């Protein structure tokens, strides 16, 4: 192991049906990277949210499109890139509403990006609409107590 | 896949119990939404969501809870949540859902809580 | 669904540790393709054998190398390509020993390619040593009784 | 991953019982090999491999069975296999292992079979 970098890539059709596979993919990587269970759970959820957004918003449920998840880890961190060639958006223009407000407005959405930012150590988007949109996320590896 | 999703609705007196099993994500959330919708449309607003066998939840699942709670409470009912495993509980906590929802350990507790606030006609 | 083709790709480091993920990948695809459980089991095992061979023989357990599994399916068949850039070999020169003979010789190997050929409807190799070695396998979809 | 691999060796009288759980593939087969090796080196050649909880096997796992059976039989012992789930059984059958190995439904049956062929000194 040591500082050797490990790389994994998964391409799947843009369908929520494939979120379970994406989570298995990320969970395997989290384990191999040495994350503990709660941290693996966070990584899993953040990537699920990212990919669900691509499937729903970037591709509008067009299952002929492709979601790409790249993951690498070394001794220090797990890096995840989620790539799409869909619609794109300006993350700065997405309002970050309090949960109380969403509840009052009977919204069923608006929690995903908040979750990703809470769960991961770094989250940033590189958007080139019509070309390629990439979301980069990092989870740092805290050494296990044992 | 390890555990697909299953949902089962039953009733205990005037309470509806929706039992979730497996993973609740953007793929399976629509089934949960339909299950709650069916209760609400039938005028059954006292709902327990039993999560004892729920192994995973994402924001799509939480969004279903979020979108119905106001309506149900307006009708004098509630959505009480029980049986959260640590993994699922963690997500409720991160989003501050613990302050909004009545979360009980076991189903018994949720039934008890409803009995303390008897049904008022909506 | 219909005749629309679905494509999936998985890249993982060449380590037996990743066989479980490869099996999840294939199992998901088999389910989506509409195979029944015994057929999914066969697909899963054939791909496991193919990738285990790449990890062991093509790359000699060098975990810095990459195993690539591509899968596509339509209404008629599931196609799997396993790709490596390792050593390569001549499949025709591999003796196909009877199990009785392997037992008598106390061998622990020699079952993999036989299994793959039994489990899949088509199996063929395209070997370009040092460049790219590809194993193509096909499982045809028999319509479920129900 | 759904079910990792676990292996447990115990003894029932002069029989060794190796219980396999989860998946036996090229990654986990070396552990199984060590477990059988340990019994053989200790002169324990009457071995039951209980596969009741084994959910998956690939040729790497079957290879372990294959490589020890001759030696063990030479020593007057045997490797008897029990509890095969249909999925694992299918692989034994495809390879013709059912003709080579003594396969029993339950562990009881395997113990019974050994009692019918008492230990002869090697
Ligand atoms: N990958 C994406 N592509 C396009 N738009 C996105 C993407 N991710 C998020 N968005 C936009 O940001 C909004 C907020 O996203 P999020 O917080 O995940 O909540 P939700 O997805 O439930 O609406 C979405 O409604 C959508 O308009
Ligand atoms: N992908 C591969 N690259 C190089 N050599 C291979 C490959 N696959 C199989 N072989 C060769 O063919 C032989 C037989 O393979 P197989 O039937 O799977 O049995 P085993 O892997 O247990 O030896 C191997 O021992 C190896 O020499």
Strand pairing class (D102-104; D78-82): parallel
Q: Would the pLDDT of A2 be above 60?
A: no
Of D101, D61, D58, the residue nearest D78 (C-alpha): D101
Residue ranges of chain B whose pLDDT lies below 70: 1-3, 118-122
Phi-psi group of B17: left, alpha or beta (phi > 0 → left; psi -120 to 50 → alpha; rest → beta): beta
E-assigned strand segments in chain D: 6-12, 15-24, 46-57, 78-82, 102-104
Residue ranges of chain D whose pLDDT lies below 70: 1-3, 118-122
Separation between Cα atoms, residue B89 and residue B57, nearest integer Å? 9
Long-range contacts (CB closer than 8 Å, 24 or more residues apart) made by B85-89: B85/B51, B85/B52, B85/B54, B85/B55, B87/A37, B87/A38, B87/A41, B87/B55, B87/B56, B88/B51, B88/B54, B88/B55, B88/B56, B88/B57
- pLDDT band at residue C146 using 50, 70 and 90 as cut-offs: low
Provide the angle, in degrees to the nearest 10, between the axes of the packed helices B29-41 and B59-74.
10
Q: What is the pLDDT of residue A1?
A: 44
Q: How far is the CA of A57 from the centre of ligand 1 (A)?
A: 6
User: Looking at chain A, which subunits does it touch, using at least 3 CB pairs closer than 8 Å as the criterion?
Assistant: B, C, D
CB contact under 8 A, B91 and A23: no
What digits encode the pLDDT tens for the residues C46-83?
999 999 999 999 999 999 999 999 999 999 999 999 99
State mean pLDDT over A24-43: 97
State the ipTM, two decimals.
Answer: 0.93
Q: What is the pLDDT of residue B122?
A: 42
Q: Would the pLDDT of A97 be above 70?
A: yes
Q: What is the pLDDT of residue D11?
A: 95
* Beta carbons of A116 and B59 less than 8 angstroms apart: no
CB contact under 8 A, B71 and A106: yes
Cβ contacts of C27 on chain B, cutoff 8 Å: 1
Decide: A112 in ligand 1 pocket, CB within 6 A.
yes
Q: Whole-model pTM above 0.90?
A: yes
What digits encode the pLDDT tens for the residues A50-91?
999 999 999 999 999 999 999 999 999 999 999 999 999 999
Q: What is the pLDDT of residue D113?
A: 95
C25 Cα to chain B: minimum distance (Å): 9
Question: SS3 of D72, please?
Answer: helix
- pLDDT band at residue C129 using 50, 70 and 90 as cut-offs: confident
Give the containing element (helix H, strand E) for B48: strand B46-57
Residue B39 corresponds to which tokens in the numbers above? 């209760």
State mean pLDDT over C25-42: 96
Q: What is the pLDDT of residue B38?
A: 98
Q: What is the pLDDT of residue A143?
A: 74
Q: Would the pLDDT of C89 be above 70?
A: yes
Cβ contacts of A24 on chain B, cutoff 8 Å: 1-2
**Interface mutation target, options C4, C9, C70, chain A, most CBs of A under 10 Å:** C9
Q: How far is the CA of D58 from the centre of ligand 2 (A)?
A: 14
Q: Would the pLDDT of A102 be above 70?
A: yes
A107 Cα to chain D: minimum distance (Å): 34
Interfacial residues of D (vs C; Cβ cutoff 8 Å): 1-2, 4, 23, 25-27, 33, 56, 58-60, 62-64, 66-71, 87, 90-91, 94-97, 100
Query: Residue C3 gets which letter from DSSP?
Result: T
* Beta carbons of B66 and A103 less than 8 angstroms apart: yes
Q: What is the pLDDT of residue C97?
A: 85
- pLDDT band at residue A3 using 50, 70 and 90 as cut-offs: low
Of C110, C114, C48, the residue nearest C80 (C-alpha): C48
E-assigned strand segments in chain A: 6-13, 66-73, 77-84, 122-128, 132-140
Q: What is the pLDDT of residue C1?
A: 44
Residue C55 corresponds to which tokens in the numbers above? 């990890």
Q: What is the pLDDT of residue C12?
A: 98
Q: What is the pLDDT of residue D119?
A: 60
Of B38, B118, B106, the residue nearest B78 (C-alpha): B118
Q: Would the pLDDT of C139 be above 80?
A: yes
């Amino acid at each position: 192991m040591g500082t050797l970098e490990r790389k994994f890539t998964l391409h799947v059709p843009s369908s929520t049906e494939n979120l379970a596979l994406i989570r298995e993919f990320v969970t395997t990587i989290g384990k191999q990277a040495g994350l503990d269970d709660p941290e693996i759970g966070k990584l899993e959820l953040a990537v699920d949210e990212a990919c669900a957004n691509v499937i729903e918003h970037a591709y509008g449920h067009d299952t002929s499109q492709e979601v790409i998840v790249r993951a690498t880890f070394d001794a220090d961190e797990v890096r995840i890139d989620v790539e799409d060639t869909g619609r794109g958006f300006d993350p700065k223009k997405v309002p970050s509403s309090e949960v109380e407000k969403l509840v009052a407005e009977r919204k069923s959405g608006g929690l995903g990006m908040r979750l990703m930012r809470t769960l991961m150590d770094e989250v940033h988007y590189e958007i080139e609409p019509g070309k390629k949109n990439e979301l980069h996320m990092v989870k740092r590896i805290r050494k296990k107590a044992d | 896949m390890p555990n697909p999703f299953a949902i089962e609705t039953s009733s205990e007196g005037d309470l509806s119990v929706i039992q979730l099993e497996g993973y609740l994500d953007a793929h399976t959330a629509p089934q949960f939404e339909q299950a709650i919708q069916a209760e609400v449309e039938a005028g059954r607003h006292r709902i327990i969501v039993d999560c004892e066998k729920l192994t995973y939840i994402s924001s799509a699942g939480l969004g279903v809870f979020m979108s119905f709670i106001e309506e149900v409470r307006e009708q004098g009912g509630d959505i009480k949540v029980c049986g959260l495993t640590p993994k699922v509980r963690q997500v409720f906590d991160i989003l501050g859902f613990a302050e909004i929802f009545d979360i009980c350990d076991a189903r018994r507790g949720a039934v008890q809580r409803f009995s303390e606030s008897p049904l008022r006609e909506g």
